[in-house]
Amino acid sequence: MVSRDASPHLPDGRPRRILHVDVDAMFVQCAVMADPERLAGVELILVGGSPSGRGVVTSASYACRAFGVRSAMPTGTALRLCPEATVVPVPGEMVRTKSRELAAVIADWSPVAAMASVDEAYLDLTGTEALHRGEPLIETARRIQLDVKARTGLDVSIGGATNRLVAKLATSFAKPAGVFVVEPGSEDAFVAGLDLADLIGVGPALREALRRRGVVDMAGLRALDRDTLRSWFGSERGDWLWRRCRGIDGGTVRTREVSRSVSSETTFGRDISELVELERALLGRVVSAAGSLRRQGLFARTITVKLRETDFRDRSRSRTLAEPVQSDRIIFAVARELLADLRRQRTSRARLIGVSLTGLCSSPDPEQRTLTDLVPRVEEARDRALSAAVDRIRSKHGRIIGPGSVLNARFRDRRRDDS
């Protein structure tokens, strides 16, 4: 949530102190943490897709990026650029664990902090100078960086400025594992030295629209007045672009709302039509999504299963329960029935399967239990207790425990990759 009323300075003239914390190649770091025996010391790592070249790259190590590999690139293209790379799946459980740990560290440093995504956060340290011994912002950022490393094992880069936009832009100058602070009063000069492609939100389409009008660099954009930009792109977007190229941002750091949904999906290495294999993959997604649900202390009333077929069309089925649930057993039982319903209608091959949990709440009891009082509960306390016990084991020892079919499939996949 943001507002437009934030000034880069307080009423007494003191500058705001905003930090942007960004985990360096988080999915790569988490992949190594999830499988250190295989990946420790490996420099060329692609996360996402499969060794066969299907799918897209979710993240790449900095060594791979030196070959031109980028996120969202087809895995086959990435492997042609960097054929020696090791391809690994997205370490979803480890990413979620480390994201929660990062959020906990950040919250300890400022009462005004917010996760912007799983791998980045903002802190507003304005007014906390006494807590941090009156030190310069860059020194506080370095101490935060060390704290994150000590408590999560993650390397992070940190940018600092008097507003969120410039702080985020500064982070790119800190990577990897560095700190870069734009001093108060130098925001305009800092942004003036950037390329158009560096401006957050100014993508290829907008740059092309500017190029067609003769604007090819930051100096050309900043030379335009508001009225010209408004006439080209409309009042709201023109004003936004005028402010953006000058590093002006009125947004404030605020805590985010509770999740409205929890989901997990996977793209298969090969298209699948057999129901048994689809059920096995679905079970893995349920375990992942339900675990995330429990870690947030939430329950879900609506369960949705999605299939993406070879024609890239998505089909889904949902069911809303009389009372909210969170255990693997109950969620999978419902999801399995939804999958069977999807497969009864068509038998084409699937390339992706996913499960989504919505209708979230913080209590296991429905708001009204009139009719449901007459029937047994869908989910018993022992179901939740068993799932919680498994969560504790995974949190301490990793994914050494889980449904047999999922673990066996993971073992077979690993043997196939190693052969």
Per-residue pLDDT tens over the stretch 355-378: 999 988 766 654 333 333 333 346
Cβ–Cβ under 8 Å, residues 39 and 53: no
Give the C-alpha separation, 117 to 146, whole Å: 21
In the chain, helix, strand, coil percent, each to 5?
A: 45, 20, 35
The mean-pLDDT minimum among 63-72, 174-183, 407-416 falls in: 407-416
- Tell me the C-alpha to C-alpha distance, in Å, between residue 201 and each of 16, 73, 150, 196: 23, 20, 33, 10
More confident: 347 or 261: 261
Who has greater pLDDT, 381 or 312? 312
Q: Is the pLDDT of residue 224 over 90?
A: yes
Tokens read off for 231 = 């006439």
How many Cα atoms are found within 13 Å in the side-chain-facing hemisphere of 416? 11
The sheet with strand 350-358 has its strands ordered as: 262-272, 350-358, 300-309, 314-325
Laid out side by side, the sheet with 86-88 consists of 59-60, 45-47, 86-88
3-state secondary structure of 115: strand
Of the spans 11-20, 111-120, 326-335, 405-414, which averages the highest pLDDT? Answer: 326-335
Mean pLDDT of 129-142: 86
Q: Residue 273 carries which DSSP code?
A: -
Q: What's the confidence (pLDDT) of residue 179?
A: 97
Q: Which residues contact 333 (CB under 8 A, 6 or more apart)?
A: none
Crossing angle between the packed helical segments 328-345 and 381-397, to the nearest 10 degrees: 100
User: 201-234 burial, b if ≥16 CB within 10 A, otherwise e?
Assistant: ebeeeebeebeeeebeebeebeebeeeebbebbe
DSSP strand pairing (113-117 vs 120-124) = antiparallel
| pLDDT in the model for residue 146 | 96
**CA-to-CA dists, residue 246 to 154, 219, 222, 224, 352, angstroms:** 32, 11, 7, 11, 43
pLDDT: is 77 or 322 the higher one? 77
Confidence class of residue 133 from pLDDT cuts 50, 70 and 90? Answer: confident
CA distance 321 to 45: 42
What residues contact 372, with CB distance under 8 A and at least 6 apart? Answer: 322, 323, 366
In tens, the pLDDT along 241-254 reads 999 999 998 766 76
Q: Is 120 a catalytic residue?
A: yes
* Averaged pLDDT score across all residues of the chain: 83
Q: Which residue has the higher pLDDT, 381 or 115?
A: 115
Q: Is 79:87 a contact under the CB 8 Å cutoff?
A: yes
Taking the domains of the chain in order of start, what are their residue ranges? 1-22+92-257, 36-90, 262-418
- Count CB-CB contacts under 10 A for residue 352: 18
CA-wise closest residue to 28 among 116, 114, 102, 119: 119
Confidence of residue 280 (pLDDT cuts 50, 70, 90): very high
pLDDT given at position 7: 61
Please say if the pLDDT value at position 67 is more than 80: yes
For residue 400, what are its two tokens? Answer: 């050494």
CB neighbour list of residue 413: distance below 8 Å, 6 or more residues apart? none
Question: What fold is seen in the domain 1-22+92-257?
Answer: Alpha-Beta Plaits (3.30.70)
pLDDT of residue 129: 76
225 contacts: CB under 8 Å, gap ≥ 6 = 242
CA of 342: how far to CAs of 116, 275, 306, 333, in Å? 35, 11, 9, 15
- Confidence tier at 257 by pLDDT (50, 70, 90): very low
Q: Give, in degrees to the nearest 5, the angle at Cα 388 between 385 and 389.
A: 85
pTM of the complete model: 0.62
36-90 is classed CATH 2.60.40.10: no
Topology adopted by domain 262-418: Dna Ligase; domain 1 (3.30.1490)
Residue owning tokens 């893995």: 284
Select the more confidently predicted residue: 113 or 210: 210
Of 120, 139, 379, 380, which one is the catalytic site residue? 120
Query: Mean pLDDT, to the nearest integer, of 372-393?
Result: 61
Give the pLDDT confidence of 292-311 residue by residue, as tens digits: 888 877 888 899 999 998 87
Give the Cα separation of 86 and 245 in Å (integer): 39
Which residues have C-beta within 8 Å of that of residue 123, sequence separation ≥ 6?
Answer: 18, 19, 21, 106, 109, 110, 112, 113, 144, 253
Domain pair 36-90 / 262-418, same fold: no
